[in-house]
């Protein structure tokens, strides 16, 4: 795959992973760009030891983890104002709420669930994070429960 092809195919996917991590449009865009700069720099050395997707998501999630060095930019924890209105809930609001919920999880949970959302296999998630597959399964189960709980609460009180 050439860089151009990778770029076209993975830009939205990497963006969503970053968005799940920080829930801030501009910040996520910056991390996505940083990720693709790394991909471009390291592509000549890529040896196909793992799938290209696994490799790219590994770089992307490590870029997310590095954001700890940029302490000034804190994730937006508040709900966007329009979400607080108790009107009919459109999909847009649900999308925003989902990303909000994910960004409120613990750092590793954000990465794991985002990879699951991007249809990565559990073996691939295990390879990216560096834990066993069984551990991925356990963590995913816990995270999904947390998310369902939040959504149940949200739908009940909107």
Partner 1 sequence: MSNIDDFKSLWSQQPAPEKPDPGVLISKAVGLRNKMRSKLLLANLICLATGVFIVYIWMNIDPKMITTRIGIIVTLTGILAFVLATAGILQPLYKSREQSSNADFLDQMIRFKKGQDFMHKIFMNIYFFLISAGVLLYMYEFAMRMTWVWATVCYAVTIGWMGFNWLYLKPKTAKKQSDKLNKMISELEEINQQITD
- CB nearer to partner 1: pick between 29 and 85: 29
Q: Binder to partner 1 among 52, 58, 76, 121 (CB under 8 A)?
A: 58
Give the x-and-dash track for 130-149 against partner 1 (CB under 8 A): xx------------x--xx-
* Dihedral (Cα; 109, 66, 40, 127), 10-degree rounding: -40
Q: How far is CA 66 from CA 22, 59, 126, 147, 155, in A?
A: 12, 10, 20, 25, 34
- Shortest Cβ distance from residue 4 to partner 1 (Å)? 6
Do 119 and 111 form a contact (C-beta atoms < 8 A)? no
Give the Cα separation of 3 and 99 in Å (integer).
28
Q: Binder to partner 1 among 1, 79, 137, 155 (CB under 8 A)?
A: 155
Give the Cα separation of 133 and 11 in Å (integer).
27
Taking alpha carbons only, the member of 14, 24, 4, 46 closest to residue 100 is 24
Residue 74: strand, helix, or coil: coil
Footprint of partner 1 on 94-133 (CB under 8 A)? 94-95, 98-99, 106-109, 111, 116-119, 127-131
- Shortest Cβ distance from residue 120 to partner 1 (Å)? 12
- Shortest Cβ distance from residue 81 to partner 1 (Å)? 19
Q: Which residues bind partner 1 (CB under 8 A)?
A: 3-4, 7-8, 11-12, 15-16, 19-20, 25, 29, 33, 36-38, 40-42, 55, 58-59, 61-63, 65-66, 68-69, 71, 91, 94-95, 98-99, 106-109, 111, 116-119, 127-131, 144, 147-148, 151-152, 155
């Amino acid at each position: 795959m050439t860089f151009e092809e990778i770029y076209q195919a993975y830009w939205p996917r990497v963006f969503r992973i970053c968005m799940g991590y920080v829930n801030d449009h501009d910040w996520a865009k910056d991390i996505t760009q940083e990720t693709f700069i790394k991909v471009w720099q390291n592509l000549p050395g890529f040896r196909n030891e793992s799938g290209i997707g696994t490799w790219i998501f590994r770089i992307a999630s490590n870029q997310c983890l590095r954001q700890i060095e940029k302490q000034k930019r804190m994730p937006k924890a508040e709900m966007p104002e329009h979400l607080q209105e108790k009107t009919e809930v459109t999909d847009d609001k649900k999308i925003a709420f989902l990303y909000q919920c994910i960004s409120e999880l613990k750092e590793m949970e954000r990465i794991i669930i985002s990879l699951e959302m991007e249809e990565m296999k559990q073996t691939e998630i295990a390879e990216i994070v560096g834990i066993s597959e069984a551990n991925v399964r356990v963590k995913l189960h816990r995270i999904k429960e947390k998310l369902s709980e939040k959504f149940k609460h949200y739908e009940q009180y909107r």
